[in-house]
Structures are given as C-alpha cells and as structure tokens.
Structure 1
Amino acid sequence: MLEIRPTCENCNTPLPFDSEEAMICTFECTFCKDCVNTVLQHVCPNCGGGFEKRPIRPARLLEKYPVSNKIVHKPVDVSKHNDFLNGPNNKQT
C-alpha cells in the first residue's frame, strides 16, 4: 500500500492525500509536478526512474488506511542531478 507522503522531497510543498500535483517514482519518492517538470526533468534523483501521477486515496478510506505524516525533505543538488542526466549512460533523447 502506498504511504502517500505529505510533501515534495525537493521543495517541501504540501501534497495532501488528494493532491493533483503529487508525482511518485517506483520507490514512491514523492515530488510535486513543478519540481518533476522543471528541476528533475522527469528523472528521479534517487533511483533514476521516471514519475507517474500519485493516485488519490479516497477520503472514506483514510481512517482505516491513514496516509503518512513522515516528511522526507532532501533538496536536490541541481548541478549533480544535471551531471547525472548528462552522464555517458544517461543521455536524454
């Protein structure tokens, strides 16, 4: 079951359970759409995978299946991320 993390890992913007702005990778690293599009260039800085829109947990299930309150705030080093994106094995096409 997804944790539904409460904030963007990069900018710490709140991303409540019903946010249309939340994006996740296969390991559930959580970022806002703005960071995914403008900072990360659609590549997770933690695993190198892509992103998908995070599903919205129905409000009626929140009591039985609460969302996480664990904040993961690890601002991305943009220079290192760009180096990773442009590395010999990771050329963007």
Structure 2
Amino acid sequence: MLQLRPNCEYCDIDLPAHAPDAMICTYECTFCADCAQNILRNVCPNCGGGFERRPIRPKTAHRPGVGLAHAPASDKRVRLKHDRRALGDFVEKLRHIPPRER
C-alpha cells in the first residue's frame, strides 16, 4: 500500500492525502507537480524514473478495512537526499529519454 508521504521532497510543501498535485515515482518518492514538472522535468532525482499522479485514498471505508481511517497517510516528512547543485546534470542527462526507456 502507498505510504502517502506528507510533503514534497524538494520544496517541502505539504501534500496531504487528498492533494491532487502530488506526484510519485515507482519507489514512492513524492514531489509536488510544480517541482516534478518544472524543476525535475519528470526525472526522479533518486531513481531516474518518471512521475505519475499519486492516487487519492478514499476518506470513507466503502469496504471493510479500507480508507484513510484504516490506513492513514504517513506523517514522516522526507527530504531530498541528493545535492541540489548536482541535480541539473542528472536531470538533463535523462529528461529527453522517455521514462519507459530509462
């Protein structure tokens, strides 16, 4: 199940469970849409993969044992582990390669 991390790893803006602009990579690295598109150019700085919109977990348990009450969003904030100055070269190297071919 997705962790639903509470913030953008780049700019640290809050991304609550219902945020429509939360983007994730296959490892669940989480960024806001603005950083994912305009700074990172659809290149995850941690794995080199692309981003997809993070699904929104239902607030209401429409089935037993599901929903935010049963599986709440994480409250552990995650910060970018890589030097921001080095990201430009990393992003530039990969951004022209479609994520499915990286």
Q: How does the TM-score come out when normalised to structure 1?
A: 0.88
Q: How many corresponding residue pairs? A: 91
Aligned to 2:31, what secondary structure does the other structure show? strand
Query: 2:81 aligned with 1:72, yes or no?
Result: no
Q: 1:84 aligns with which of 82, 86, 90?
A: 90
Following TM superposition, where does structure 1 have runs of at least 4 consecutive aligned residues deviating by more than 6 angstroms?
A: none
CA 1:76–1:40 in structure 2 vs 1: closer, same or farther (change >3 Å)? farther
The Cα shift of 1:82 comes to 1.6
Q: For residues 11 and 82 of structure 2, what CA distance do their matches in structure 1 show?
A: 9
Give the unaligned 5+ runs of structure 2: 61-66, 98-102
Q: How does the TM-score come out when normalised to structure 2?
A: 0.81
Q: Percent identity?
A: 49
Kindly indicate whether the alpha-carbon contact (under 8 Å) linking 1:7 and 1:16 is maintained by their aligned counterparts in 2: yes
The Cα shift of 1:76 comes to 5.8
Aligned to 1:59, what secondary structure does the other structure show? coil
Give the unaligned 5+ runs of structure 1: none
Match of 1:46 in 2: 46
Q: For residues 42 and 91 of structure 1, what CA distance do their matches in structure 2 show?
A: 7
CA 1:82–1:2 in structure 2 vs 1: closer, same or farther (change >3 Å)? same
Match of 2:23 in 1: 23
CA RMSD of aligned residues (A): 1.7
